Amino acid sequence: MRYAMAVDTKKCVGCSDCVVACQTENNVPIGYCRDWIVEVTDGTYPQLEIEIRSERCNHCENAPCVRCCPTGASHYSDGGTVLVKKYHCIGCGACIASCPYDARFPHPDGYVDKCTFCLDNRVKKGMDPACVSVCPTKCMYFGDLDDPRSPVSQILKKRKYKTLIPEAGTKPHLYFLI
């Protein structure tokens, strides 16, 4: 089982609903976020393009954050989801420095926090992650890459996609449909 997410940049309008839904679902304190919006503008007026991406932890198969964690707090969980055991985390910040996607932040309670794919609170109960379930444009697809019928497998079969910073060799599980 390999959990993954695909975000359709052709449909995302960058409204940030994913951000606030994650905050209220996961009690992320105001001022912090586990997911965020990136907007890239390319070209010169009036020949322009924008790519809008809802970004979060890439839940890499080859995760530098897991490798560098001195206490084992950062670990692979079900479906390859990268999680942090907050009571094992000493807040050293090595993982934050190692992440090419800047996906982690120091939680005010003293541990490092990040996207969990809503694994325990939603996915294990058969629901989609909060961001996926709330998105007004339905631009996010989640599921198991090993299950050809999962929404994420289906959409990756149909559409062109890319991953971010592939040269880092992290094998990310966050795909962007282009």
Partner 1 sequence: MKTTRRQFIKVSSLYAGGVAMAGTGLKAASGLLNNLGGSTGGLSRTPTYCEICFWQCAGWVYKDDNGRIQKIIGNDDDPHCNGRLCPRGTGGVGMYHDEDRLKTPLIRRTVDGKQVFEEATWEEALDFIAEKMKTIAKEYGPECVVLFSHGSGGAHLGHMLKAFGSQSISAPSFAQCRGPREVAFLTTFGDIVYSPERTDIRDSRCLVFIGYHLGENMHNGQVQEMSDAIDKGATIITVDPRFSVAASKSKYWLPIKPATDLALLLSWIHVLIENGWYDKEYVEKYTFGFEQLREHVRQYTPEWAYGITTIDPNVIRRTAKEMYDASPAVIVHPGRHTTWYGDDTQRLRAVAILNAILGSWGRRGGFYFPERVQFPEYPTPPYPVPKRLPAEAYAGKYNLANEVVSNGICDATIPSVDSDCNFKVWLVNGTNLMLALPDQRKTLEAIQALELLVVIDTMPVEITGYADVVLPECTFLERYDMIRVSRHREPTLALRMPATEPKYHSKPGDWIARELGIRLGLEAYFPWKDMEEHLDWQLKQVGSSLEEMKRIGVKKFPRQYDDLYLHEGEDFFFNTNTGKIELYSTDMEEEGFPPLPVYTEHEQPPEGFYRLNYGRAPMHTFGRTANNPNLTDLMDENTLWVNPKVANLWGLENDQYIKLRNQDGIVSTFSIKVRITERIRWDSVYMVHGFGHDNKKLSRAHGRGINDTELITNVKTDPVMGGTGMRSNFVTFVFENKTVGKEAEA
For partner 1, the binding residues (CB under 8 A) are 10-11, 13-17, 19-21, 23-25, 27, 30-31, 33, 41, 43-46, 48-50, 52, 121, 125, 133-139
Which tokens belong to 30? 């105001």
Min dist. Cβ of residue 70 to partner 1 (A) = 32
Q: Contact, 56 vs 31, CB < 8 A?
A: no
H-assigned helices in 114-160? 130-134, 151-158
52 vs 89, which CB is nearer to partner 1? 52
Min dist. Cβ of residue 72 to partner 1 (A) = 29
60 vs 177, which CB is nearer to partner 1? 177
Closest CA to 60 of 105, 16, 100: 100
138 vs 162, which CB is nearer to partner 1? 138
Task: Write phi, then psi, for 50 (nearest 5 degrees).
Answer: -125, 140
Min dist. Cβ of residue 75 to partner 1 (A) = 24
Residues 6+ apart with CB under 8 A from 106: 91, 93, 96, 112, 113
30 vs 167, which CB is nearer to partner 1? 30
Long-range contacts made by residues 149-157, C-beta under 8 angstroms, separation at least 24? 152/4, 152/5, 152/6, 155/6, 155/8, 156/6
Which residue is associated with the tokens 């606030």? Answer: 20
Min dist. Cβ of residue 122 to partner 1 (A) = 9
23 vs 81, which CB is nearer to partner 1? 23
Min dist. Cβ of residue 55 to partner 1 (A) = 15
